[in-house]
Structure 1
């Protein structure tokens, strides 16, 4: 279904051209951010005329919305695939499942982060972008929480229904901050990405598997 601000392609050649334009716009966002994604630059990179872009997208806002839907459709598909694989690991100790869920969430955000960052910033002033972005956030939360709440009987926190969504927010918010502002923006302490992921994993394990003295019940 066509999104607002774009026209439905009618022929295969038009679909191929549309794909080239979207890929070029995605790369422009990745390389130069929102301000660098100008129609003339996208057209040149796609090997089409500026008129060809406007034949398919009403304006720059229409193009950016199409790019966002394209990117987030890929994010949604990757998230579903990653968590579907984890659902099949029934024999994995719950501590290991927590670690895998944290890693899957952070890795999928990071994988698409170079394009997601500019889109997230633009969403602050564009309700349409924000609505589509919220749908992906909700999907990520549902996948993460459903996976871990299915093993709620093995968690040691008193209210898993609240604690698991809190764990999700800790990981997701950190991952989104990283791709939006860069790993060190506004922060005093520099932390390598692999170390940050390790610490987030430990944080979630300790929080969800804590005993009375705060220790983790299972082996990691």
Structure 2
């Protein structure tokens, strides 16, 4: 089975034992929330299950009842993070579809909204990308999330295909998405490198990126 196919099978249940009762579900949510908080606070996976137990008010035995080891818990947190990101993308796309009548109006609003979705999710998205370098299931999960995000962006841009200049609107839409994501990802230090254009104003970046992509669609 390919790595991407593996990701399709990856779920919260596949990484831990699914709780059956309400109290157990609440305990699981505390485990995930506490591990997530520790990861975001520290910017890494350098926490112990004892810390999760103490801060989350769950017993070590309960943690091991749900997760085989710390890696399984980390994977579950990152899986949940990709779900959250996808849900925020869906909400964003729905709002933009309802409010933007033209491509010229849509593009800057898309850049603004997508920038903020990525910014809110950056801490765990960064950790997902870092873990993907050595963890095949997370690598596959990340690839699936990236392909899904691309397909959503493509569908959004193609609603205005008649306004995209040039013979291949789909190619232009894909290029615009990659340009937008790559620019924002570098600014947010996503990936294994800690480098970031930290001296570039975030609001200026969003504004100018929107202007450039609008001009690109009109010129191609």
Structure 2 unaligned runs (5+)?
Answer: 1-10
TM-score normalised to structure 1 length: 0.86
Structure 1 residues 72, 188: CA separation in 2 closer, same or farther (over 3 Å shift)? closer
Partner of 1:115: 124
Q: Deviations over 1:32-60 (max 9, x none)?
A: 13342321222221112222211111111
Q: TM-score, normalised by structure 2?
A: 0.86
- 1:76 paired with 2:121, answer no
In the alignment, what sits opposite 1:4?
A: 14
Q: Taking structure 1 as reference, are residues 17 and 83 closer, same or farther at Cα in structure 2, changes over 3 Å only?
A: same
Count of aligned pairs: 209
Task: Name the structure where helix makes up a greater proportion of residues.
Answer: 2
After TM superposition, the structure 1 stretch with the greater mean CA deviation from structure 2, 117-126 or 15-24, is: 117-126
For 1:163, the equivalent position in structure 2 comes to 172
**2:164 and 2:217 in contact (8 A); partners too:** yes
Q: What is aligned with 1:132?
A: 141
Q: Give the alignment partner of residue 184 of structure 2, picking from 170, 175, 183.
A: 175
Question: Match of 1:97?
Answer: 106
Residue 207 (structure 1) aligned with residue 216 (structure 2): yes
TM superposition shift of 1:179: 3.5
Shift of 1:2: 4.3
**1:112 Cα deviation after fit:** 1.2
Structure 1 stretch displaced more, 26-35 or 163-172: 26-35
Structure 1 pair 81–136 and aligned structure 2 pair: CA distance change class (3 A) = same
Hey, what's the Cα distance between the residues in 2 that align with 1:42 and 1:35? Answer: 12
SS in 1 for 2:88: helix
Q: Is the 8 A contact 2:16 2:67 kept in 1?
A: yes
- Tell me how far 1:209 sits from its aligned partner: 1.3
Tell me how far apart the structure 1 counterparts of residues 163 and 115 of structure 2 sit (CA, whole Å). 23
- Runs of 4 or more consecutive aligned structure 1 residues displaced over 6 Å after TM superposition: none
Alignment partner, residue 215 of structure 1? none
